[in-house]
Structure 1
Amino acid sequence: MLETNTTPAASRSAFKTFCVSGIGTALEFYDFVIYGIAAALVFPQLFFPDLDQLTGTLIAFGAFGAGFFVRPLGGVICGHFGDKIGRQKVLVLTLVLMGLCTFLIGCLPTHASLGIWAPALLVLLRLVQGFAAGGEWGGAALFGIESAPAGRRGLWGSFTSMGIGIGGIFASSIFAITSAAADGDLVSFAWRIPFWLGGLLLLVGLYARLRSTPDTPPAHSEATHSMPLLDALRFNPRSMMLCTLIAFGYVTIAYIGSTFFLSYANQIGYGSTQALMFDLTLSITIVLSAPLFGHCSDRFGRRRVMILGALCMAIGMFFFFPLVGMKSLVVSLGAYALIGLLMGMTQGPIPALLGEQFPRHMRYSGISASYQVGAAIGGGTASSAATGLLILTDQNPLGVSAYGAAAMALVAICSYLLKETAHKNMAEIDRGVHSSLASPRVAEARA
């Protein structure tokens, strides 16, 4: 069925939508990624100085993962209010929380001057960042999907995925420039600069989101539960479970790529500036490939692109570490570019794939809760688990490859089991679930 969309949301330009869902997410992800970079490169020495480097890195990644475990709470609360009062207001709140915490991390005293309280405060700020991130992704993704013209939801939904890559580019570039300017000495003071800059970039994101076209009114229906998440759990439990498992696998590989790969390059002998070049290459490739495969999902279907991308990424994991292990700068750059391309194959279509499983009145709650639970389990443990596998196997990366491949196999299986929605219009998606809510059997169950 050919989609026709005449709502005010559909009149937004691609540029305005990208500013809200893409640039806003880029700035929030910048804040998130610089913590991961710092956890890989400097936090072991600054906040956990009594441990050896690999163990200190493991503990630093554990602190990084702590932020993931409050992401579901952020997803549930922000999703609820996003469905009730509109997407834009919630997206402004998440941006402010993330930016302030990033600035404060840059102001933290280290273990040398504050003792055990330094890592404690670091973890506390990470928890608030995690809450903000929990509400960000779903709202930004839906802003793109719900603003898209006919046949472009995959492409416009990928603006959020592009934002993640752009945030990674910002983070890697700033850290690389800072590292080079400080002659590789990030530990003494220079590590603080990217965090302070993240706080200042908050103003750019706020301008983009406050100047955007106002939200369309939240969906209202007599069948709508006062708690949209309960509707999603009650009437869409299969989609909730499958979306959670997809998020688990997808975020696992995303954070192995954005944090563990960086740490691994550093551990096998590359300097911090070179390692940041690799991370920059990965991010650039994702920015270029995500919209390409988001567009492909509009033409060929979400599931086909997701399954192909997941299987290619699973295979690619077994080639990546031997290529980087050759310790050739050119070969390693090529390996990171290849992995970025394969990551983009799933990162582009995933916002539309997950968002289209829910009707509008429960969409923010459904996508945020399912995605963030999966992200908490997958992303919160990915870097620590990969580092632990490296320790257990005497630094043989084969175990990490198998771990990443298993995560991608899960993405492929669950994508196959989800409904194909690429060629349905949003009214049709909403009507299918609303009709089930209004059926006599459901009405009797409600009574």
Structure 2
Amino acid sequence: MHADHSLPASSRSALRTFCVSGMGTALEFYDFIIYGTAAALVFPQVFFPQMDHLTATLVAFSAFGAGFFARPLGGLVFGHFGDRIGRQKVLVATLLLMGLSTFLIGCLPTHASIGVAAPILLVLLRLVQGFAAGGEWGGAALFGIESAPPGRRGLWGSFTSMGIGVGGIFGAAVFAIVSAAFDDNLVDFAWRIPFWLGGTLVLIGLYARLKAPAAVAAPAVKPTRAPLAEALRQRPRQLLLCTGIAFGYCTIAYIGSTFFLTYATQAGYGSTDALMFDLTLSIAIVFAAPLFGHLSDRLGRRTVMAFGAVAMALGLFAFFELVAMQHFGMALFAYSLTGLLMGATQGPIPAFLGEQFPRSMRYSGISASYQIGAALGGGTASSIATAILILTNHNPLGVALYGAGALALVAICSLMLRETSQLSMAQIDEEPVGGIFAEGKLLRH
């Protein structure tokens, strides 16, 4: 008990909230990072040995994308039950499913052992991962913003975005260590170690979530029988615009987390260098996400989101030019800058999307819009970017234009949504249909 008093109550509450919303998402993104890394470095030989390397990489990324197409279904199912029976039970279920599927990927036999059944099982487990992830992000984001003190929803919501960076750091670090320590055996056996580790680390997030109920008050609003149907009826415009933001954001996020790795290796950098670049990108995001989440509390969500999207679009063109110089220091700077700019949109997104819906339909609304956008944008981003690189004879300008187009969508949709940073959660929850979102008035605390 004495240890509890070593931190102010607000700091203890923030740390507890981060452990629930941030660490769970960190484990989710760790799963995706290690899969994306394995898809670029290992899976072409392990699961698709009959193809040439670049084509096999494209197929491996397509299997990666398969998990994204299960995410909308997971978002609909877990979002429904999150609104109906509460956030905590759903967050425990999603974490268990993700951890189990990650561990089992590490146990899969190879194509050499069981033939075509190996990649089929890989895709099936990616579908389970995607289904669980569909309910994970929305619930984790809502835990942060619904636990936040007044005027801190952007910052506390960014804990989920920080978790993405933490997962990226851990995933890149584990794969870098395993790659360096077992270089000769990476394809044969060592690639399994990060998947086994991710499956066991789920116990940490599980403990935090089982201890979480005291941190969040019981819902004040009785949920409807069909929360998503209510969201479609009452907030169709918000659902569409939030889906557009998620599409653009997830497109650039997964270009950054998976395609950038392939591009660096194709540009002549070693696999260890490429993993160091990914690690640098994730570290920059961990610092940038709470900074811009906090700024969105001060300056407004729309202003920060639009600025971040435009700055990231311009930075994308500079990124490819710097990496193409084949200078390790310049490439490291390019990844650092890109991570900083990605955080400008990544930080405010949880609060901005969650604030578009009242509590009775919030889990369903944020999960459906975000996961549909993630499936359409993130699920295809790596494959499309790789295909563009092939079709343009390895000229990255086409990929930069593709990413800039996605970011333009983020900026446009953000500016078309209502500014919500100055609304209290009570005002958002109690707002009648056709209220401030239709009238264009901004209620304040």
Q: Trace 1:171-320 onto structure 2 (pairs within 5 A).
A: 171-183=171-183, 185-214=185-214, 215-221=216-222, 225-320=224-319
Alpha-carbon shift at residue 434 of structure 1 (Å): 5.8
Aligned residues of 1:72 and 1:372 also touching (Cα < 8 A):
yes
Say which SS state the counterpart of residue 422 (structure 1) adopts.
Answer: coil
Preserved CA contact (<8 Å) 2:84 2:224: no
Written as runs of structure 1 = structure 2, the 5 A alignment for 1:341-360 is: 341-360=340-359
**Percentage of pairs with the same residue:** 72
Distance 1:27 1:296, change over 3 A: same
Distance in 2 separating the partners of 1:246 and 1:97 = 27
Tell me how far 1:23 sits from its aligned partner.
1.0
* Counterpart residue type for residue 253 of structure 1: I
Structure 1 residue 216, shift from structure 2 partner: 2.7
Matched, 1:13 2:5: no
Match of 1:400 in 2: 399
Shift of 1:322: 1.1
- 1: CA distance, partners of 2:12 / 2:213: 7
1:7-156 matches, cutoff 5 A: 13-156=13-156
AA partner of residue 317 (structure 1): L
Contact 1:83 1:218 in 2 (8 A): no
Alpha carbons 2:224, 2:360 under 8 Å: kept: no
Shift in Å, 1:184 = 6.0
Counterpart contact for 2:72–2:375, Cα < 8 Å: yes
Kindly provide the amino acid, as one letter, of the partner of residue 401 in structure 1.
A
Counterpart code for 2:221? H
Match in the other structure for 1:165: 165
Q: In structure 2, what is the Cα distance between the partners aligned to 1:270 and 1:12?
A: 43
Contact 1:12 1:213 in 2 (8 A): no
Structure 1 runs of 4+ with >6 Å offset = none
Whole-Å separation in 1 of the counterparts to 2:279 and 2:435: 47
The Cα of 1:225 is off from its aligned counterpart by: 3.3
Contact 1:85 1:217 in 2 (8 A): no
- Distance (whole Å) between structure 1 residues aligned to residue 426 and residue 76 of structure 2: 24
Task: Tell me the CA shift for residue 436 of structure 1.
Answer: 5.7
- Give secondary structure in 2 for the equivalent of 1:304: helix
Does structure 2 retain, via aligned residues, the 8 Å contact 1:252–1:382? Answer: yes
Which residue type is aligned with residue 81 of structure 1?
F
Number of matched pairs: 426
| TM-score where L is the length of structure 1 | 0.93
Residues 12 and 147, structure 1, Cα contact 8 Å, conserved in 2? no
* 2-structure distance, mates of 1:153, 1:13: 13
CA distance in 2: counterparts of 1:186 and 1:11, whole angstroms: 42
Q: Secondary structure at the match of 2:34?
A: helix
So what's the TM-score if we normalise by structure 2?
Answer: 0.94
Residues 423, 115 of structure 1: CA spacing in aligned structure 2 closer, same or farther, 3 A cutoff?
A: same
Q: Distance in 2 between matches of 1:295 and 1:367?
A: 20
Instruction: Map residues 317-396 of structure 1 onto 2, 5 A cutoff.
Output: 317-396=316-395
- Counterpart-to-counterpart distance in 2, 1:348 and 1:239: 19
Match of 2:412 in 1: 413
Tell me which amino acid in the other structure corresponds to 1:125.
L
Per-residue deviation, residues 142-178 of structure 1 (Å, max 9, x unmatched): 0000000010000000000000000000100000000
Per-residue deviation at 1:377? 0.2
CA distance in 1, matches of 2:184, 2:213: 44
CA distance in 2, matches of 1:308, 1:134: 28
Deviation at 1:213, TM superposition (A): 3.5
Shift of 1:28: 1.7
Tell me if structure 2 keeps the 8 A contact 1:86–1:216: no
Contact preservation (8 Å) 1:184, 1:273? no
Deviations 1:244-279 (Å, cap 9, x if unpaired)?
A: 000000000000000000111112221111110000
